[in-house]
Amino acid sequence: MMTQTFSFEFFPPKTPEGIEKLRNTRRQLAQFSPNFFSVTFGAGGTTQQGTIDTVLEIQSEGHQAAPHLSCIGSTRDNIRQLLNLYRDNNIKRIVALRGDIPSGMVEVGEFRYANELVEFIRAEHGDWFHVEVAAYPEYHPQARTALDDLDNFARKCKAGASSAITQYFFNPDAYFAFVDEVKFRGVDIPIVPGIMPINNFTQMARFSDTCGAEIPRWLRNKLQAYGDDVASIRSLGLDVITDLCDRLLTAGAPGLHFYTLNGAGAVSTIWQRLGL
């Protein structure tokens, strides 16, 4: 029986109020004993210090922290220092990403793709780190074609990835089709679905249009029809996401990774409804 992995993702807060809010969120979510908390890393490393501070605080509280490491705009020396810092603090899990190219950035740095970052981590630290990579069941919005994206993903995995976390999606068929296609390419690492709770339709629609996550037409129309009725949006969102998680786990997904947006409410309700 495969062990399932459950995790929660945060972004580094930028204000004292944000730091306090995240501490409260963490306290609430820690009761579910997740395998780890991951912390994002801004485009071009804009929130690098915030990521480090948040990760070290999580680790000091006795939880497993998994910092995101984005290679765009980074040098080998810069990545090496971060890896050494994390290893010295007994951090054993890294989320290795290419990262978004900030507008106006001319030099992408010494790494161009995530597979190069994964290779570098393995060359420097062997098997010390459990290396997570990103997967896009509906394909990366910047990929030339769907087949190119599948090949890119396989390349990252063969470079030494331990497991993958997907971009969020609302269509489970997209996830299962993706898993089958990469298996055909020789990839057999666990691919954990990324889950985005629905709290705010406008924000979610903006995120989804940027990252290429399809909102099913019926769902988009129904959420739009609720207008400013926040309670109805959240109620429908809880039903839709709980059902999605249930279908994924029943069909054998190796866990769930929740994009919390630094809030605990919706995630806690979904977790309890699933009986995890």
DSSP three-state, residue 165:
strand
Phi, psi of 259 (to 5 degrees): -85, 100
Where are the extended beta strands (E) located within the chain?
Answer: 5-10, 36-39, 65-70, 93-97, 130-135, 163-168, 191-195, 255-259
Q: Active-site positions?
A: 9
Buried residues in 49-65 as b, exposed as e (16+ CB within 10 A)? ebbbebbbbbbeeebbb
3-state secondary structure 114-158: HHHHHHHHHHHHCCCCEEEEEECCCCCCCCCCHHHHHHHHHHHHH
Sort strands 5-10 and 163-168 into parallel, antiparallel or unpaired. unpaired
Q: What is the C-alpha R_g of the chain?
A: 18
Written as one letter, the residue type at 116 is: E
Q: Which residues, listed in sequence order, are joined to residue 223 by a DSSP beta bridge?
A: none
* Tokens encoding 50: 């915030």
Going by C-beta distance under 8 Å and a sequence separation of 6 or more, which residues neighbour residue 265? 199
Q: What does the alpha-carbon distance between residue 77 and residue 128 come to, in Å, rounded to a whole number?
A: 19
